[in-house]
Amino acid sequence: MIEIPAIIKPSLDDNGEPSTILVPQSQFPDDCIAVICDGTTFTVYLPGDTLPAQ
């Protein structure tokens, strides 16, 4: 499991209005099996990691 900080990026919403989105500060690994974002950090699960219960 690794953690990647989330950054706020300017964007446009579906109506073309200015908005923002959360994006990872760096790319996810190609072998990630799940990604969860809590609003500040993307938690990236890799093969062999135990996923959290739903």
Q: Is residue 39 situated within a structural domain?
A: yes
Secondary structure class of 3 (helix, strand, coil):
strand
Q: Please tell me the distance from the alpha carbon of residue 5 to that of residue 28, in angstroms, as a whole number.
A: 11
Report DSSP letters for 17-50, one per residue: -EEEEEEESSPPPTT--EEEE-SSEEEEE-TTPP
Residue 11: per-residue pLDDT: 96
Q: Is residue 54 situated within a structural domain?
A: no
Residue 54: per-residue pLDDT: 76
Q: Is residue 31 situated within a structural domain?
A: yes
pLDDT digits 0-9 by tens, 1-15 = 999 999 999 999 999
Domain count for the chain, please give it: 1
Give the domain extent around 22: 2-45
Residue 53: per-residue pLDDT: 86
Q: Which residues of the chain have pLDDT under 50?
A: none
pTM here is 0.84
